[in-house]
Amino acid sequence: MRISVIGTGYVGTVSGACFAELGHEVICVDVDRSKIDQINAGVPPIYEDGLSELLKKHVGLRLSATSDYEFALMNSDVSFICVGTPSDAMGNIDLGIVKAASASLGEALKKKKGYHVVVVKSTVVPETTEKVVLPIIEKHSGKRPEDFGIAMNPEFLREGKAVHDFMNPDKIVVGSLDMRAGDIVASLYSGLECDVTRTNPRTAEMIKYVNNSFLATKISFANEVGNICKELGIDTYEVMKAVGKDFRIGPHFLNSGAGFGGSCFPKDVKALIGKAHEIGYEPLLLKSVIEVNEKQPSRMVGLLKNRLGNISGKKIAVLGLAFKNDTDDIRESRSIPVIKELLDNGAKVLAYDPMANGNMKKIFGSVEYHSSVESALRGADACLIMTEWDEFRSLDKVFGFMKNRLIIDGRHMLAPGKDIEYVGLCW
């Protein structure tokens, strides 16, 4: 099939490259010329493992990029909306970019004679596809719903592993108002060994939110248990290892620590809370998932103060700035509130991250950024471990550079050892 993908962020670019890998012809669309030029040069606009190889393999053959919506729509049968859905100041979903993309698609669709399917892949709150996207497309195209197809096909891609997750899904969800559109979208994935869940658009939208919100709930649950265990001298990791053996629970996403960050979990849980409020429901549990998560960074700084007392003027090393390992993405990183609290308390912050120094510099200019763990630890009065980078699992040799070997571990990367004062956040 001929596919156009609107938006070349990590969902759009990965989806476009993987659809090409599945044998489809793909046109990526974006308003950002630099991204278009990068893709047409076979260079990924974002870092994703395996993406560069796919772009090099397919660009110029069955994958191209353009800023021309009309060209893309005229030369494709299915268009995926893969644009961002950030949070607004109140934490609710901001559909501005989705609405703009829908209007542009509608304008282009006006000129198209044949049947065309519009698919929402962006993470949107329930009812968005039917009550926001569909009416905008109708208005701008002048067409009736039966003249074009509309569907909702959420993604379940982890940042850094998005190509793997696209090509190895544990579920494919297609929500549509009519079978024709749904059949066409489902057929695009026929090259993958995975059953397709067919449903309506709002159910597909809700599946995405519940999937992410449940994962975030597991993490906050693990953190709450960890905070209790810490006070009782119990290692929560030992507890969760046994609890995770229950087939109804499973061992994953029970790692307590500094909490969840990223561009998805915080945003999606808050958006679902906002949608619940909109329909007059008070989501107590979802609110507590956010509340627990937002308290974890302060607990890191609290443990530091318990041991150092006044940290004003003290040199504190922060190891890990990205929201998780193997990415340079600092969106909602738990290091951000930690660094803010350290600076607010007058500490001097020495930071190191293998990939994310540059991005954090845009937020905190007064932090001293280092290009190695050793350099960041030199003369430090304490060290906080905030991101689960593999290189932080063996630091014994470099703690000797510290003035005071106090280690506050927010990611269960190390264990108590001789010559260091080791403190686990929840263990």
Closest CB 325 distance from ligand UDX, rounded Å: 8
Residue 93 gets which letter from DSSP?
B
Closest CB 419 distance from ligand UDX, rounded Å: 28
Q: Looking up tokens 């001293």, which residue turns up?
A: 368
Q: Looking up tokens 């307590």, which residue turns up?
A: 256
> CB of 7 within 8 A of CB of 29?
yes
Q: Are strands 25-29 and 2-6 parallel, antiparallel or unpaired?
A: parallel
Name the strand (E) or helix (H) holding 27: strand 25-29
> CB of 304 within 8 A of CB of 384?
yes
- Beta partners for residue 173, in sequence order: 197
* Best CA proximity match to 315, nearest among 343, 341, 349, 351: 349
> CB of 107 within 8 A of CB of 141?
yes
Name the strand (E) or helix (H) holding 219: helix 201-232
Nearer to ligand UDX, 66 or 236 (CB): 236
Closest CB 236 distance from ligand UDX, rounded Å: 11
SS3 67: coil
Nearer to ligand UDX, 67 or 298 (CB): 298
Q: Which of 28, 82, 264, 383 is catalytic?
A: 264
Q: Where are the alpha helices (DSSP H) in 68-178?
A: 69-74, 96-110, 128, 134-141, 162-167
Closest CB 243 distance from ligand UDX, rounded Å: 13
Q: Is 426 designated active site?
A: no
Q: What are phi and psi of 318, to 5 degrees?
A: -115, 110
Q: How far apart are CA 15 and CA 55, in angstroms?
A: 11
Nearer to ligand UDX, 106 or 160 (CB): 160
What's the half-sphere exposure (Cβ side, CA atoms, 13 Å) at 355? 16
Q: How many CB atoms lie within 10 A of CB 178?
A: 12
Nearer to ligand UDX, 105 or 384 (CB): 384
* Best CA proximity match to 14, nearest among 129, 173, 117, 165: 165
Nearer to ligand UDX, 323 or 364 (CB): 323
Which amino acid is it at 361?
Answer: K
Q: How far apart are CA 328 and CA 190, in angstroms?
A: 33
Nearer to ligand UDX, 106 or 259 (CB): 259
Closest CB 306 distance from ligand UDX, rounded Å: 22
Closest CB 241 distance from ligand UDX, rounded Å: 12
Residues of this chain that bind ligand UDX (CB under 6 A)? 156-159, 212, 215, 219, 253-255, 257, 259-262, 264-265, 323-324
Nearer to ligand UDX, 157 or 402 (CB): 157
- Catalytic center residues: 264
